[in-house]
Amino acid sequence: MHPMTSLNNDTRPGTEPSDGPRLRDAVVLALLIGLFFSLFLGSRPLSVPDEGRYVEIPREMAATGNWLTPRLNGIKYFEKPPFFYWFESCLIKLFGLSEWSVRIGPALFALFGCMAVYYGGARLFGRRTGMLSAVVLATSVLYYALSRLITLDMPVTILLTAALLSFLLGTREPEGSTRRLFFWVFYAFAALSTMTKGLIGIVFPGMIIFTWMLIMNEWRILRSMHLFSGLALFLFIAAPWHLLAGRANPEFFDFYFVREHFQRYLTQVHHHYKPAWFYIPILIGGMFPWSVFLMQAVRHAVPPDSWKERKNHTSEIFLLLWALLIFLFFSASSSKLIPYLLPVLPPLALLIGKYLADAWERTTPWGFRIGSIAYSVVSAAFAVGLFLLHRYVPEVGSIGMTITLWTVALWLLLGSVSVWTSRGKNAVNRTFITIVVAFSLFLIAGSAVAPSLDTKSLKPLATTLKPLIRADDEIIHYRNYYQDIPVYLERRVTIAAWKGELEFGTTIEDTSGWMIDEAELWRRWGGPRRVFLFAGIRDAEALRKKPGMPFFLIAGTKNTVILSNREARP
């Protein structure tokens, strides 16, 4: 990160940096952050259920060539639109099926998000703000974690970020081709975000822009937003799949719009209820280590006496509304999951980056010193927790893992001490670099350790089973759907005595061949085909007591086993 120490903040707010420095910045950032995101990317098995689900759907698309109707285990699955599935399917086609090839998707989106934040920050507030904001975003806990996890939250966050930054930059341009291009990019990215996770691609930009124009009294922007051509572009991108999917699947509109948008938000249909304050600790922890400067950055962006002069803070107010309205939107929802908060991080990273850039070569602000103390205390406490972790978590009790954790903890502790001792009148740059280096290494080490902490993955069972199975064997999941198994075995499985999230699809198509009840399971168990059954430990113990039925144990983990009705030979 040394290039930042000599970076001159040579761009006045609202002006564009020269092409040479901006290109150099982009190359340096892309290389460093790209390397940061890529380390140990494929070392961890697929997490369940999310990664298993969001890999199996594109795997089936790539295998069947059906790009219109998303399917999970061969069953229609309309919970989300297909843009990210298409993207992942192309990666599978290009690089084959592996943990690395499917995780490169969210990592690329995360890298693009950091570059978009750099570009937006540089044009709005200066090169230094752009550089610092991109680094702040990349090294925030939640952003880094989701850059390595295959879900829809990273891609939709980055597409929304690109859309909203394009809008904001467009409003600062005079009438002409550049302004028109920014607004067209805004509509295009809003359409792609709609094609990734549904109506929030319209709702979020709409509510943020409307509220901003209301507060700033900037209704005149409506006349220069190229609404007609922009909406035509939006519909050109977002409408065809929705129309074709609805035409091919009569049940699509009711399930997709009513159940997966309105009922998901207004009711507890998906059983993800959390209290209204749920996202407050998630924001503090997810933005760490930079959350220690969050309140200072907000206060710095819009001073308390600035209402009458709010026109001088148009960009800062836009970023604040962006973060605040999304935060309130999800806090009011009946369905809450940790990754939903991710779209709040890019605008906050820009505000924090501006705060740090403005203090870079000045006397250290009092608030920054308080934040530095908070970082030192929290990271030291976390380091102590890592030193003691092996006593309470059996999975990390081995000598090798303990040494690894102690090394990580020691590095975190050294960073904490270094930040504490660097507090002085001109310590912002030294403190920033120390936090970046120490916490980046901590995150990388955490990625290296993560595979040893995953107790839910069934990859070991799939690896054992795959050489044994023949084309005519049947794989059955009992009272569960183990989402990573179809990916690792590269085939559809039969599910017995369970429907869960697949229930809707079973009501609109004949899936009786592979969605069966318990009676059908035992009929097949006693039939001529060889059957492999995945079951939880307790269910397996009960099954093996069933009289008159042959059960052969093939392999097992702490929670799950594979049973067969025949002896298993390759």
pLDDT value, residue 423: 62
**Predicted confidence (pLDDT) per residue in 433-477, tens digit:** 989 998 998 899 888 888 877 778 999 999 999 999 999 999 999
Q: Taking Cα atoms as reference points, which of 172, 221, 225, 209 lies closest to residue 14?
A: 172
**Predicted confidence (pLDDT) per residue in 222-247, tens digit:** 999 999 999 999 999 999 999 999 99
Q: Give, for 388, the enclosing helix (H) or strand (E).
A: helix 366-389
pLDDT value, residue 229: 96
Per-chain mean pLDDT for the chain: 89
**Predicted confidence (pLDDT) per residue in 484-497, tens digit:** 999 999 999 999 99
Classify 254 as helix, strand or coil: helix
Query: Could you give the residue ranges of the DSSP H alpha helices within 221-269?
Result: 227-248, 252-253, 264-266
pLDDT value, residue 7: 44
The answer to whether residue 6 scores a pLDDT higher than 70 is: no
**CA separation, residue 153 to residues 52, 110, 345, 566 (Å):** 15, 10, 12, 43
- Tokens, residue 188: 């295009």
pLDDT value, residue 511: 96
List 516's β-bridge partners, or say none: 496
Classify 272 as helix, strand or coil: coil
The answer to whether residue 126 scores a pLDDT higher than 90 is: yes
The answer to whether residue 392 scores a pLDDT higher than 50 is: yes
Cβ-in-10-Å burial (0-12, 13-18, 19+) of 439 comes to: buried
**Predicted confidence (pLDDT) per residue in 53-112, tens digit:** 999 999 999 999 999 999 999 999 998 999 999 999 999 999 999 999 999 999 999 999
Q: What is the pTM of this model?
A: 0.92
Cβ atoms 230, 184 nearer than 8 A: yes
Cβ-in-10-Å burial (0-12, 13-18, 19+) of 416 comes to: buried
Going by pLDDT thresholds of 50, 70 and 90, the confidence category of residue 10 is very low
**Predicted confidence (pLDDT) per residue in 338-367, tens digit:** 999 999 999 999 999 999 999 997 878 888
